[in-house]
Amino acid sequence: MCGIAGVYNYQSIKEPSTERNVKKMLSLIRHRGPDESGIYLDRNLGIGSVRLSIIDLSSGQQPMADETERFWIVYNGEIFNFPQLRTDLLKKGIRLKTNCDTEVVVQMFALYGSDCLKQFNGQFAFCIWDKVKKELFLARDRVGIRPLFYWSQNGAFAFCSEIKGLFSLDQIERSLNPDNLAQIFTFWTTLTPKTPFTNIFELQPGHFMCVNSEGIQFEKYWSLNFPSREELQATTLSDSLEEFDELLHDAVKIRLKADVPVGAYLSGGLDSSVTTAYIKDIDPQVLNTFSIGFKDKAFDETAYQEEAARFFNTNHTAFTCTTDEIADNFAETVWHTEFPILRTSPIPMFLLSKKVRESNIKVVITGEGADEFLAGYNIFKEAKIRRFWANEPNSKSRPKLLTKLYPYLQRLQDAPDFALKMFFGYKLNETDDPLYSHILRWNNTSRIKSFLSDDFADRIKNDNPINEVYKTLPDHFEKWSDLAKSQYLEATIFMSGYLLSSQGDRMAMGNSVEGRYPFLDYRVIEFCSQLPDNQKLNCLNEKFILKKLSQGKIPNSITNRPKQPYRAPIASILGQDGAPNYINEVLSADLLKSFGIFNLIKVDALIAKTRRQNIVAEVDQMAIAAILSTQLLYKIFIAEPIISNIDDLIHCRIIDGTKN
């Protein structure tokens, strides 16, 4: 895994200081690739990478060229089927100098152009420079596992794996975009290609872009799709199980390919236990597993984690995260997320990946994707219950089913009937709304916007972020089942924009660790998308087919345990006198007024309310995290200078393409 960056003055005749600019960007993302660095220079262009060596440690240096040296690549990712693609290239007479997937990618592009993307099974973001056409080609994997951000203005273009690299360039303005913040305070993330910052964009998952003298063009090469209600195949569960077993086994197997040790996260839940079972079956050697526990028992899953570790006989490292550690590491986490966060959940993941790196592990297998594509989240069951309730909106018993989904929310368990209807009854009867499954969640989250300052609130008063979602829906969306619609929204917005970014790539790569996700193998995704709904959500039994598949592979207690979502304490200390100094600073009246994002009176009232109450409402907890992280984001990326140290790249390999 690596970090990549580049600049291209595609409509300029001037010679820019490309080498220094690329070095500035790379120095700020050195954590993504601490092992090596390199830069390729051409007229008006520079592209570079920092490398985390995982495959072909001795000869995989970047930038790298194809056989003819027409195409030069910088690449962040892994193509898991590259051995097969490499064999195909050799059969075609292509001479390969290395054993790494980087060379396979650039050679495949030289042969097939953008069509090569459809042959890749992996997680990637890369850029290829065509010396003849004077064109940059940039691409991102199907679901957005690896990041790629860009900026363009007045014929100048820059890209980087992380936004902080772009902000090292003097010509790029740094400011928050109020409309995009409104999206985050609704969906937990922006709708791609937007980011929290003005004029900073993200290449959308499943897309590629070309930059040349004529400008910038975008094209989609893959999209998540589901069959219409009429097209759903009546496959038997036994047939589905057989195919699923083969696919998942291979998805795990190809992700174990590495020239360094591979570990696994073991949460104590179904998904990570199943992937661990496959790993032990494929490679019975000693497996290093890692898990997070919490002193607060409402969040802790240690007992299940220990049971799974004993069952698989792994070399297990357990890490207990405290509330103080969450507070102490909040700012560093925001430096890596580059987005406001509405939960503290990324922080323990950052600390866990640090433990992994301290164990000299560079690669971990994790279970992300199973909940999205096998209907594991409560939001899928919640929508089903709300539709059931909408058939008899005056029923007193039907809304009580919703409390069973959230046993960990004590305020909900004690709520009277009228309160349940107030909380869950929002637009209850609008079951024909294509966004029905998510409208309630987004409405509740959007209350965070009430804490915005008058200036920010005025700038977004005529915009409803939810209206933007309607515009992005596929043409055939209405033909899908209700569950398929829910899954599409969850995977393309929350999973891609938050789970795989703020809680995934950024937390792992912040400690130079690469995460790999068997459930996000595109073959597994496409298989799960074609399954009948009842093989995913059977009545209210989530991940039905995965539970069936797990029988005999993992402890029965884990297969049959109630679903517990991964959460971390919101840390009431964030608003307490014992909070770290930086927290008190960014929540002070001076900085709240200076930054101008939030209403001082409302923020003070929220903090005072938090101190008074033993149990803090979910919306208030999200508001605390959102306000704190946004204030930190402004302080780190806008109020203070972005300092890069190009001396970190003293051994950077420079290739001057103008001399060839």
Q: Which residues are catalytic?
A: 2
Report the candidate in 239, 508, 498, 556 with the shortest Cα–Cα distance to residue 377: 498
User: Phi, psi at residue 71, to the nearest 5°?
Assistant: -110, 130
Strand partners, 210: 137, 217
Give the Å distances, CA to CA, from 5 to 116, 197, 586, 641, 660: 22, 18, 31, 20, 22
Distances, alpha carbon 399 to alpha carbons 141, 290, 341, 420, 432, in Å: 40, 39, 30, 7, 19
CA-to-CA distance for 360 and 305, rounded, in angstroms? 21
Nearest CA among 39, 45, 33, 35 for reference residue 8: 45
What are the backbone dihedrals phi and psi of residue 338, each rounded to the nearest 5 degrees, phi first?
60, 15
- The alpha carbons of the chain give a radius of gyration, in whole angstroms, of 24
In DSSP terms, which residues pair with 6 in a beta bridge?
A: 47, 159
DSSP bridge pairs for 47: 6, 40
Select from 348, 623, 361 the least CA-distant residue to 507: 348
The owner of tokens 């915009």 is 463
Positive or negative, the Cα torsion across 541, 543, 546, 552? negative
* C-alpha to C-alpha distance for 110 and 117, rounded to whole angstroms: 12
Classify burial at 148, counting beta carbons within 10 Å of its beta carbon; exposed 0-12, middle 13-18, buried 19 or more: buried
Output phi, psi for 463, to 5 deg. -115, 130
DSSP 112-178: HGGGGGGG--EEEEEEEEETTTTEEEEEE-SS--S--EEEEETTEEEEESSHHHHTTSTTS---B-H
Instruction: Read off φ and ψ for residue 557, nearest 5 degrees.
Output: -65, -30
DSSP string spanning 576-634? STTS-HHHHHHTSHHHHHHH-SB-HHHHHHHHHHHHH-SS--HHHHHHHHHHHHHHHHH
